[in-house]
Amino acid sequence: MASGILVFSEHDGGKIKKTAFELIAKAVSLNMGPVSAVVVGAADTSALGSYGATTVYTVSGDAFSSYTTGTYTKALAAVIAKADPAVVLGAASNLGKDLFPRLGARLGAGVITEATELSNDGGLVAHRPVYAGKALVTAKPSGLALVTVRPNSFGAPTAGSGSAEVVAVDAGVSAADAKVNVLESKKSDASVADLTEADKIVSAGRSIKTAEQYDSIIRPLAASIGATPGASRAAVDAGYAPHSHQVGQTGKVVNPNLYVALGISGAIQHLAGMRTSKVIVAVNKDPDAPIFAHATYGLVDDLFDVAPLLQKEFEAL
């Protein structure tokens, strides 16, 4: 009989992403049976046991040098068949959003996406925002449940002293399962976390006025607290920031512990991408800006006056 929770643990260049540790620790707290992890491709799995995984399933081989939907789906399906979990958790990342629906179709399993809270009520209960975050859906799946969770939903866990048994699984995956050949991969030169995994974000709206001011004001302010710079669609469309920095319904959905919105009015499309942030700090000259209705702290002032003062204080810390 299926039991326990299996956590799909993503990695970047062999380094396990922090979302995997977050999900493993949460899985342990749910008390739904043994917690195991699965890692596809070559990666350092040594830390997974210290967050609560008792078993780490690994699937390796030349077919996993780059991510493709076909190879990863077959690999994860093979591990699920061996581990027989009741629940499979993964991050609501670009990879997770591509992989889990395909996996659900292959296994005939239900898929819950973008969850922000999980609980145990005689079985898994997942809560996820809908309608651009204006409402929450409570879902209780039957049978095998595949769930993607927004990063930073549960906070950073503390590592313990535990260890995990490592079990290698032969999924029978070959290059033919890839269907496509990855010719080249280019990584961003950015030294900060991707928006979807960032713990802190500093974003600007169209009020930043120029790309030069975005670079001279927003980037240094973000750097002063180790945050990732972001932007509204209006700022991106105006050419002030790259599309990779766009937060919102047509950009990236983020879930940081701190979101600083400078000169962002708070249109529903932007709120859809950041409404679940733990703490929202808004600075805007318009006292009626919609962002203030959702902000934890709000300041009616000019971002060009406030941002340098914030940076100075942050750097002094």
| Overall average pLDDT of the 185-200 stretch | 81
Residue 71: the pLDDT is 94
All residues at 6 or more sequence positions from 277 whose CB lies less than 8 Å from its CB, including other chains: 201, 254, 255, 256, 257, 258, 259
| Overall average pLDDT of the 274-301 stretch | 95
Total Cβ atoms within 10 A of residue 296: 12
Shared fold status for 5-178 and 195-316? yes
Sign, CA dihedral 45-48-54-57, equals negative
Question: In this structure, which topology does domain 5-178 adopt according to CATH?
Answer: Rossmann fold (3.40.50)
Q: pLDDT tens, 5-19? A: 999 999 988 999 999
Using CA atoms, how far apart are residues 17 and 24, in angstroms rounded to an integer?
12
Report residue 174's pLDDT band, with 50, 70 and 90 as the boundaries: confident
Judge whether residue 154 has pLDDT over 80. Answer: yes
Judge whether residue 28 has pLDDT over 90. Answer: yes
Using CA atoms, how far apart are residues 22 and 119, in angstroms rounded to an integer?
15
| Overall average pLDDT of the 212-219 stretch | 97
Report residue 190's pLDDT band, with 50, 70 and 90 as the boundaries: low
Residue 220: the pLDDT is 97
What are the domain boundaries of the chain? 5-178, 195-316
Residue 115: the pLDDT is 93
Question: Mean pLDDT across the chain, nearest whole number?
Answer: 93
| Overall average pLDDT of the 183-192 stretch | 76
Structure tokens at 217: 């004001």
Residue 5: the pLDDT is 97
Among 295, 178, 196, 173, CA closest to 246: 196
Q: Reply yes or no on domain 195-316 having CATH 3.40.50.1220.
A: yes
By the 8 A CB rule, do 230 and 200 touch? Answer: no
Q: pLDDT tens, 115-137? A: 999 999 999 999 998 887 778 89
* Total-model pTM: 0.83
Q: pLDDT tens, 221-268? A: 999 999 999 999 999 999 999 999 999 988 888 989 999 999 999 998
Residue 181: the pLDDT is 82
